[in-house]
Amino acid sequence: MPAEIQVRRVAGALGAEVSGVDLSRPLPGETLDALRRAWREHLVLFFRGQDLTPEQYMAFARGWGTPVEYPFVRGIEGFPEIIEVKKLEHETVNFGGIWHSDTAYLDEPPMASMLLARELPPYGGDTLFANMYLAWDTLSEGLKRTLEGLRAVNSSARADVTRTREDRIKSDGGGGEKREYNAEHPVARTHPETGRKALYVNVAHSARFVGWSEEESRPLLEFLFRHQIRPELTCRFAWQPGSIALWDNRCAQHNPVNDYHGHRRLMHRITLAGDRPA
């Protein structure tokens, strides 16, 4: 890591805050390589004080991967891959306000997601993150053997998560809002870069196991949903204007806390193309 860049771990489970880097400028290859190593270690990186234009934000994203459009919400003008994640003063439900891994209902879910804070409430609006490597590692060996052979059906139409999209679809719908997306993925996902196994189900999208009914799947899935967000597997990030969070969608989940009713919160999100989970 270049001497001027500091990486400070923020919790035992995951997360690190990076200082000493200006993301408005192109990053040298060695700096980006060092940040990638830190990202693989900590799963989510946080940057402060990055007041980026959309062009600069896109340039930073392209250093990590290929930005892709979100199926349900239009991007901002001139930048279809940047969507507004917002909750307005009169709204009571926040966008994506449930523990989840982004768009697990796609055949090729995104590798990573990033958020840039534009407008924040006077209090609240933090985001929680959870380490799915540790969620897998802390299961019993007997349960691991059971899960290793299972695949889960993931759907965009789960009631709890569709409710968190309703306000944005009404105001910013992108044409995919009438479609239902479904995909089958392994419950134990192997990360293509680290080779580590991660628990790859989430309460927002995972409906049942392949070959099982929803009724049969529910008790085991509900146990996994509780297990994977145990406090010791998580970290919490308090946003400031210009803060950026970049997380590995293949091995981390997140949950934006909805505790600021009556206030506005506006973020810009970019997701990066991934591969088919294996």
Q: Which of 100, 189, 265, 268 is catalytic?
A: 100
Q: Are 73 and 86 in contact (CB under 8 A)?
A: no
- Dist. CA 73–CA 86, nearest whole Å: 11
90 is known as an active-site residue:
no
102 is known as an active-site residue:
yes
100 is known as an active-site residue:
yes
Q: Which residue, chain included where needed, has tokens 């009724």? A: 215
Q: Which of 158, 191, 254, 268 is catalytic?
A: 254
DSSP state of 191: P
Report which residue type is found at 28.
P
Q: Which of 22, 42, 39, 80 is nearest to 242 (CA)?
A: 22
List the structure tokens of 256: 């934006």
Residue 104 Cα to chain centre, angstroms:
10
Residue 150: Cβ-neighbour burial (10 angstroms; 0-12, 13-18, 19+)? middle
Q: Which of 42, 74, 102, 250 is catalytic?
A: 102
Q: Are 94 and 256 in contact (CB under 8 A)?
A: yes
Q: Are 65 and 247 in contact (CB under 8 A)?
A: no
Residues assigned a catalytic role? 100, 102, 254, 269
